[in-house]
Structure formats: structure tokens, C-alpha cells
């Protein structure tokens, strides 16, 4: 998120519509988040019956299969990003788009995008499109260090927990850094929490150009035998050189449908 500029809305009807949306979003976010709130204590013991390296091999192989399967699905992506001054919303970015894949490439058809009142950088948008739905397949293992930290329950799921960090940061490349939770039955990521890196601070003469990013958490749900991202949220304060900005972010991924079928989840 760059140091932001605020664009003022004047129309009363627009304000009422926005207030209604925010109330609905807050209620739905609270309901969804509460369903993922049951987290057990971290057990630092090693996996039983296999090494942590074997766990990594199994789940990254399964993530590769899921990544390929995902290309067969369409879904709706609903994004809300708010810049806050205390509890007051001072800037907002919203977008609703339908996602599909064409020849392995992610394609978005925007269906709703009101004029934003907060400036989004290309890295902000890129992170929303890809980092929130972070996965690491066996083909991408060479880019990251994975450290096993223990086992932990997430609701009724028993998970292996790993810390994830990029081995190196290449120019113009974006990475995930944080933790992932891997279900010990399906060997897939069911939750990740962390942030996109690197943050960007460039000094140009007497001016510093900053692009900072919030920490977020993404949850997945079981759909057609695989775990698909369905909800991601962030509530973090970004420390710019001249001021602090609180960022609230909600992403919802809904209406998963396998291409060519009428089944929705």
C-alpha cells in the first residue's frame, strides 16, 4: 500500500450504499472468521511415522496437483481494502471480478469496480490476486526455506505447521513470508498467515517512495476433495515515514464452479 491520497464522495446516495455494504461486510466477515477461531496449542513434537521432509514432499506434490486442478474452475473474487484513521474509513478500494483460467493463465472479468478513494500500486493488486491464495508446489520448493515448527489443531483438523521464507529475493519478484498449516490427512495447505515481501522503500533525492504491505490470514475450505481458498483478511498498521496507516482488507472467493458443469460451491 502506497502512501495514500483520499478522494471525497459527495453524493448522499453513494454514502448510504457504502454504509450498507460495510455493515453487511462486517457481519459476514465476523461470521466467517468466527468459524475459523478454534486454534489449539502448538505441539512441537515431530510427525509420527514420517520425517518433516517427507511431509514437505507429500504436501508440495499435492499442492502441485491442486494448482493444476484449479485451472478447471471459475469463481468470484470480492475485494475490499480500507485505509483507516482510528476507526474512521478515510479511503477505500473495492472490486468484484469473475476469475477463470485460459491456457494456464489467470483471467479476471471485472463486474463491479466503483471509483477508488485510496491509491493501489501494481504490487498491491498483484498481491491480492496471487499472494492471498499462496501455494507452494514441489516445483517451487527451490525458492523457499521451510522450517517445521510443530503440530496444531485448527478446529477439527490436525495440522503440521511450517515457517516459510524466500531463500533469496530477486528483482521485481514478489514472495510470501509467514506460516502455513498443512492438514495431516489430505496433505494440503488449509491456512496461511504472513505477508508479501519485499516491502519497498526507495529514496529519490529528498523524497522516500514507500510501498508497504499488511499481514494477512487466508483460510481454505474443502471443495470436490481439494482445499480451495475462500476467505482472507488483514487488519494491520503500516508504518510510513510520515505517518501510520491502518489497513483493513477482506477477500472472499465464492461460487467455485468446475468449467462445463452447473455445480457451485
**How do residues 73-101 score in pLDDT, each as one tens digit?**
999 999 999 999 988 999 999 999 999 99
Share of the chain above pLDDT 90, in %: 74
**pLDDT classification of 3: cutoffs 50, 70, 90:** low
Least confident of 120-124, 203-207, 211-215, 227-231: 203-207
End-to-end CA separation in angstroms for the chain: 32
Q: What pLDDT is stored for residue 106 in this prediction?
A: 95
- CA 72 – CA 257 distance, rounded (Å): 8
Q: What pLDDT is stored for residue 265 in this prediction?
A: 55
Task: Give the three cell numbers for residue 241.
Answer: 515515514
Q: Which is it for strands 216-223 and 189-197: parallel, antiparallel or unpaired?
A: antiparallel
Q: What pLDDT is stored for residue 260 in this prediction?
A: 74
- CA 251 – CA 180 distance, rounded (Å): 18
DSSP of 169-226? --TT--EEEEEEEEETTT-SEEEEEEEEE--EEEEETTEEEEE----EEEEEEEETTE
What pTM does this model have? 0.84
Locate cell 468466527: which residue? 34
State phi, psi for 127 to the nearest 5 degrees.
Answer: -65, -40
pLDDT at 24 over 70: no
Q: What pLDDT is stored for residue 203 in this prediction?
A: 78
Summarize pLDDT for 151-194 with one digit per residue, the tens.
Answer: 999 999 999 999 999 999 999 899 999 999 999 999 999 999 99
Amino acid at each position: 500500500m502506497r502512501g495514500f491520497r483520499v478522494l471525497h464522495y459527495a453524493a448522499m446516495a453513494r454514502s448510504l450504499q457504502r454504509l450498507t455494504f460495510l455493515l453487511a461486510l462486517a457481519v459476514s466477515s465476523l461470521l466467517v472468521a468466527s468459524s475459523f477461531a478454534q486454534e489449539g496449542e502448538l505441539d512441537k513434537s515431530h510427525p509420527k511415522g514420517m520425517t518433516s521432509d517427507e511431509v514437505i514432499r507429500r504436501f508440495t506434490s499435492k499442492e502441485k496437483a491442486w494448482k493444476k486442478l484449479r485451472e478447471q474452475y471459475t469463481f468470484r473474487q470480492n475485494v475490499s481494502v480500507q485505509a483507516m484513521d482510528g476507526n474512521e474509513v478515510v479511503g477505500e478500494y473495492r472490486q468484484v471480478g469473475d476469475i477463470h483460467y485460459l491456457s494456464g493463465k489467470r483471467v479476471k472479468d471485472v463486474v463491479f469496480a466503483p471509483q477508488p478513494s485510496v491509491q493501489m500500486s501494481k504490487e498491491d493488486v498483484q498481491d491480492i490476486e496471487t499472494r492471498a491464495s499462496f501455494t507452494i508446489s514441489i516445483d517451487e520448493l527451490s525458492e523457499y526455506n521451510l522450517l517445521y515448527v510443530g503440530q496444531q489443531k485448527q478446529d477439527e483438523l490436525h495440522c503440521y505447521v511450517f515457517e516459510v521464507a524466500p531463500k533469496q529475493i530477486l528483482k521485481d519478484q514478489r514472495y510470501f513470508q509467514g506460516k502455513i498449516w498443512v492438514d495431516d490427512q489430505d496433505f494440503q495447505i488449509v491456512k496461511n498467515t504472513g505477508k508479501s515481501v519485499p516491502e519497498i522503500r526507495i529514496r529519490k533525492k529528498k523524497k522516500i517512495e514507500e510501498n508497504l504491505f499488511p499481514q494477512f490470514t487466508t483460510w481454505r475450505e474443502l471443495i470436490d476433495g481439494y482445499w480451495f481458498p475462500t476467505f482472507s483478511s488483514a487488519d494491520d498498521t503500516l508504518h510510513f515515514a510520515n505517518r501510520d496507516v491502518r489497513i483493513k482488507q477482506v477477500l472472499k472467493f465464492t461460487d467455485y464452479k468446475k468449467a462445463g458443469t452447473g455445480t457451485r460451491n
